[in-house]
Amino acid sequence: MNKYIKYGLALIVISIIGIAIYFYVIKSDNHSEMGHQNEVYTCSMHPEIIRDKPGNCPICGMNLVKKVTENNPVDDNSIDNLIKPTDNFIVGNYQTTTAIDTTLSSEINLPGIVGYDPNSSVNIAARMSGRIERMYVNYKYQKVNKGQKLFDLYSPELLTEQQNFIYMVINDVENPSIIDASRQKLLLYGMTQNQINALSNSKKVNPLITIYSPASGIIEGTATMDNTTNPVMQSASNNTEVLNVKEGSYIKKGEVIFKLLNTDKVWGIFNVIQGYNSLIKANQSIRITSELDKDEFMDAKINFVETQLNPADKTNRIRVYLNNNKFKLPIGLRLQGVVKTNSVNGIWIQKQSMVSIGNKKIVFLKMDNGFKASTIKTGIEIDDFIQIIEGISVKDTIAKNAQYLIDSESFIKTE
């Protein structure tokens, strides 16, 4: 009996020792696993990269930095903020500011250029069909004066009318009304009064009739040239562009041979960038300076505001009609216009508090332990302020220098 008791007690002791060893091993494994889970490896340049073991960053190749929490449970909120992209949430303490609700007014600087006024141009059209025998103007943008020779024309139609006129002058002197009607017809065909008087005195037809300029101006071109070309933006190299109408060219009745652009009346054409359209109105005052003399001012009124957006530079244009008899501004001269804007009420922030990333504009809102990126919608710019349409209010606190937060690396917490 004693033998069985002895073996039973030994078995109990062995069982107790085995159970103790088992729970000790399990606890050690759990402790090791917990410690292992508390080890986090990340990249100091790209904190969004999180690994549970050492290695290299897949983006830049740098060694991952160990982040140990000393066997304490990981603070999920802290880690979440830490591993977010640096343009989304930034841990740190930086200077802050707030938006202001106020009324601002300022001056808008508008770049411009001197252009021709198409409304004051003169078309020189063929009044009869014929062939050009001699040209007296040969280049685009050549200046001509009123009464200057343009070209000599041979026209069978005009030759016939001359013969009819001479016949009536010689054989029908007693019918002055018929002679005057024939004279008027020659005037409508483009002959001058002096040419008709010479024809009446000589009684001899002239196969070539010289066509004179009816006004002073600049030769823009011919009807066969590209009409889509904007004469306002022509460069100096185009001043020697040869005209398409040459000696020997045949012209048809009603065809526009030349267009004379008047330089006494010109346009000041200014570009208004998007967002400022609502601030520019017709009849608004504008002060203009030119690159010839920036100290000489021209005070004028805005005559027309174009509603169509220019697809090339995403601007609207305004026109100012200028009397060039006084200023003598050359076409293509660069201008600078200054328009005083009306007061605009709204919510404003300083420019440095916002940063543009592609097609988005963001500010950094102050949170408990850092700054969170927030998208905003902006309006116009006045001086150093930007209008806020939506995204933040005057109650929000934002980082004073948004660009610094994006460029700086000092806020990246690696340990």
pLDDT at residue 28 greater than cutoff 60: no
Say whether pLDDT at 410 is over 50: no
Q: What is the mean pLDDT of residues 9-21?
A: 69
Gyration radius of the chain over CA positions: 43
In the three-class reduction of DSSP (H, G, I as helix; E, B as strand; rest coil), residue 131 is classed as strand
pLDDT, averaged across the chain? 78
Mean pLDDT within 280-285: 87
Considering 2-6, 53-57, 406-410, the range whose residues carry the highest mean pLDDT is: 53-57
| pLDDT band at 411; cut points 50, 70, 90 | very low
Least reliable range by pLDDT among 55-64, 258-267, 277-286: 55-64
> For 134-190, how does the pLDDT look when each residue is reduced to its tens digit (9 = 90+)?
999 888 888 888 889 999 999 998 899 889 998 888 888 888 888 899 889 899 888
Q: What pLDDT is stored for residue 114 in this prediction?
A: 93
Supply the pLDDT for residue 63. Answer: 79
Residue with tokens 């024309």: 153
State yes or no: pLDDT of 31 exceeds 90.
no
pLDDT band per the 50, 70, 90 thresholds, residue 73: very low
> Residue 81 above 80 pLDDT?
no
Other CB atoms within 10 Å distance of the CB of residue 352: 15
Look at 185 and 43; give whichever has higher pLDDT. Answer: 185
Are the C-beta atoms of residues 309 and 349 closer than 8 Å to each other? no
Looking at residue 302, what DSSP letter applies?
Answer: -
- Write down the pTM of the prediction: 0.56
For 37-41, 158-162, 348-352, which range has the lowest pLDDT when averaged over its residues?
Answer: 37-41
The structure tokens listed for 173 are: 């002197």
pLDDT at 316 over 70: yes
Question: What 3-state class would DSSP assign to 224?
Answer: coil
Percent of the chain with pLDDT over 90: 10
> Is a pLDDT exceeding 70 seen at residue 222?
no
Give pLDDT, residue 223: 43
User: What average pLDDT does this structure show over 330-355?
Assistant: 87
Residue 358 has pLDDT above 80, yes or no: no
Q: Which residue has the higher pLDDT, 98 or 294?
A: 98
pLDDT at site 152: 92
Contacts of 248 (CB under 8 A, 6+ apart): 131, 132, 133
The mean-pLDDT minimum among 148-162, 200-214, 397-411 falls in 397-411
Given this model, what pLDDT does residue 315 score? 82
Query: Comparing 163-167, 272-276, 300-304, 323-327, which segment has the lowest mean pLDDT?
Result: 272-276
340 in Cβ contact with 332 (< 8 Å): no
Cα dihedral 219, 225, 228, 229, rounded to 10, equals -50
Q: Where is average pLDDT lowest: 9-18, 34-43, 119-128, 247-256?
A: 34-43
% the chain with pLDDT above 70: 78
Mean pLDDT (whole number) for 278-306:
88
User: Higher confidence at residue 31 or residue 20?
Assistant: 20
Mean of pLDDT values over 266-288? 86
Residues 6+ apart with CB under 8 A from 244: 221, 222, 224, 225
Mean pLDDT of 78-86: 50
DSSP 56: B
Which has more pLDDT, 131 or 404?
131
pLDDT surpassing 90 at residue 330 = no
- In the prediction, which pLDDT does 229 show? 42
